[in-house]
Amino acid sequence: MSALDSWREQLAAWAIPQPVLDAAPQSPWVLPHTVFIRRADRQIAGPTGASYTEALRALERPGSVLDVGAAAGAASLPLAARLTGVTAVDTDAGLLEAFAARAARLGVPARLVHGRWPQVADQVEVADVVVCGHVLYNVADLGPFVAALNGHARRRVVAEIAQLHPLTSLNPLWQRFHGLTRPDGPTADDAVRALRELGVEPEVVRWTRPPQAEYGSFTELVDVTRRRLCLPTHATAEVERALTDLGVAPGSPPDLGSSGRDLVTLSWAPSG
């Protein structure tokens, strides 16, 4: 099996079984705005990490950035001092509003494109650097997605991805509440193999983000986790116990099911 086919099949295995989905009292597809906004604000205030360093290096001469899957701007807005302009692409209008507010405060000219990449790629101009943070695990068909990234970058593409699929952190809870064994792939290594099959040879930097509180309260984390697990509200106390059993610190609640701490930066020249 090709690396691209393996990537596609492994992602498809994450589908929630239909009977569990049908019984869910609320949609499990929770997009925790507060988490993305807190990450952006923290990164803008004190930029860190290999992805930031690589993008900054590509902007040694100030230039424009295209942020694919921009959310509130954690990947691009910390580069404000080197930006001549930024284009943010995202499927969530609320997060694009948060992006716009932060870009305005930083004095960065920003254009917002509401939609899914690469379907909206023809609405977007070429930029000096393309950044893409924590999107690849949502992309089953990497070929067109990566081709559109390459086609919109003059100098560099910088993509950040968790080492393990973010949803693996919820696997013990799926087993506990539903008796379901969930997948454990794909991984960042699978992404690298798929990129190579597309003719892209990325530079790979593995790094670890320090533990951070991503929610304002443990209660918020419990509620989002309950919904992700397709559980009713009366299961809230049990979810709280389960998170505590996993070792989650109530005073510093991470976003399980999101980007994790062990990260990988993949970067390459647009020629591959």
What does R_g of the chain's alpha carbons equal in angstroms? Answer: 19
Helix (H) / strand (E) element for 207: namely strand 203-208
Average pLDDT of the residues of the chain: 96
C-alpha–C-alpha distance, residues 153 and 207, integer Å = 24
| pLDDT given for residue 198 in this prediction | 97
Structure token digits, residue 29 = 């597809």
In this prediction, residue 252 carries a pLDDT of 85
Residue 136, domain member (yes or no)? yes
**Lookup result for tokens 């404000």:** 80
Identify whether 175 is part of a domain.
Answer: no
CB 115 within 8 A of CB 235: no
Phi, psi of 185 (to 5 degrees): -140, 175
Is residue 101 situated within a structural domain? yes
Q: From residue 14, how far is each of 63, 99, 118, 152 by CA, in Å?
A: 38, 29, 22, 30
pLDDT value, residue 73: 98
Do 68 and 135 meet the contact criterion of CB atoms below 8 Å apart?
Answer: yes
Determine how many CB atoms are found less than 10 A away from the CB of residue 13.
Answer: 11
- Domains of the chain: total: 1
User: d(Cα 150, Cα 129) in Å, to the nearest integer?
Assistant: 10
- Three-state DSSP class for 129? strand
Quick check: is 250 in a domain?
A: no
Q: Tell me: cis bond preceding 118? Omega within 30 of 0 counts.
A: yes
- pLDDT at 211 (0 to 100): 82
Task: Give the β-pairing of 110-114 and 262-268.
Answer: unpaired
Q: What is the predicted pLDDT for the residue at 272?
A: 55
Chain segment 159-189, per-residue pLDDT in tens: 999 999 999 999 999 999 999 999 999 999 9
* Among 92, 210, 222, CA closest to 170: 222
Q: Which pLDDT value is given to residue 31? A: 80
Flag whether 238 is in a domain.
no
Mean pLDDT by 10 residues, the chain (272 residues): 97 97 94 92 97 98 98 98 98 98 98 98 98 97 98 98 95 98 97 98 95 89 96 98 94 81 96 67
Q: Please report whether residue 221 resides in a domain.
A: no
Query: Is 200 a domain residue?
Result: yes
Q: What CATH number corresponds to the domain at position 127? A: 3.40.50.150
47 domain-assigned: yes
Task: Give strand pairing partners of 66.
Answer: 87, 130
Segments forming the whole domain that contains residue 68? 3-16+31-165+184-214+259-268
